Chains A and B, each alone.
Chain A
Amino acid sequence: AQSVTQLDSQVPVFEEAPVELRCNYSSSVSVYLFWYVQYPNQGLQLLLKYLSGSTLVKGINGFEAEFNKSQTSFHLRKPSVHISDTAEYFCAVTPNTGFQKLVFGTGTRLLVSP
């Protein structure tokens, strides 16, 4: 079985500052990794995904994440955040046999203030 740990429940940051949201996973098999964003009262939107190949993955809205197999991590980064990035961010994992059986972390709330 897979599991995901998002250590930070909330990350406050000032506008235009860089941010990193941490994600660690556990799995006995190879995995696919995802970051989703959830704005208030909305569903989840896919930010980026790692399937294979380059460990640095670029997504929408200027976000990127780096897969580190030895540390079983998939941290999300953005060099300069905007107020509009305020949202809940979820890391998710699934066995690399498909996109089903997604297991989500508990989420990190990013709070961007002016």
Chain B
Amino acid sequence: EAGVAQSPRYKIIEKRQSVAFWCNPISGHATLYWYQQILGQGPKLLIQFQNNGVVDDSQLPKDRFSAERLKGVDSTLKIQPAKLEDSAVYLCASSLSTDSPLHFGNGTRLTVT
């Protein structure tokens, strides 16, 4: 089966600019997650979707981060405006359900200068 697809792989922007990341989960996977992995740290959950509804966004900085999952398939994560501390790898993961293991994409590495 095809894995979780993410794009772009790398992005460099200046602070205060906006950026968007895209994720295409494994076909049939109802649950989708976005994680932020800062250098030297483990991944931290930003938001979880079940189909096209948000299940958990308690750790999403909602003043600058937004995410959507239109039609319950692809998802986009947006940052506007970006700050230096947003430099990280953004990982998307999907699973059949909340009772199934997560499958991770290769991530998008964001550098904010």
Interface size on B, residues (CB 8 A): 26
> When the two chains form their complex, are residues A100 and B56 in contact, meaning their CB atoms are under 8 A apart?
yes
- Complex CA distance for A49 and B101, rounded to whole angstroms: 9
- Complex CA distance for A92 and B102, rounded to whole angstroms: 12
B97-113 Cβ-contact flags toward A at 8 Å (1 or 0): 01111101111010000
- Chain B: residues with CB nearer than 8 A to chain A? 4, 9, 31, 33, 40-45, 48, 55-56, 91, 93, 95, 98-102, 104-107, 109
Nearest A residue (CB) for B9: A41
Q: Which of A41, A46, A90 interacts with B42 by CB under 8 Å?
A: A90
Contacts of A102 on B, CB cut-off 8 Å? 43, 45, 102
Interface extent on A, as a size class?
Answer: 20 to 34
- Complex CA distance for A43 and B5, rounded to whole angstroms: 10
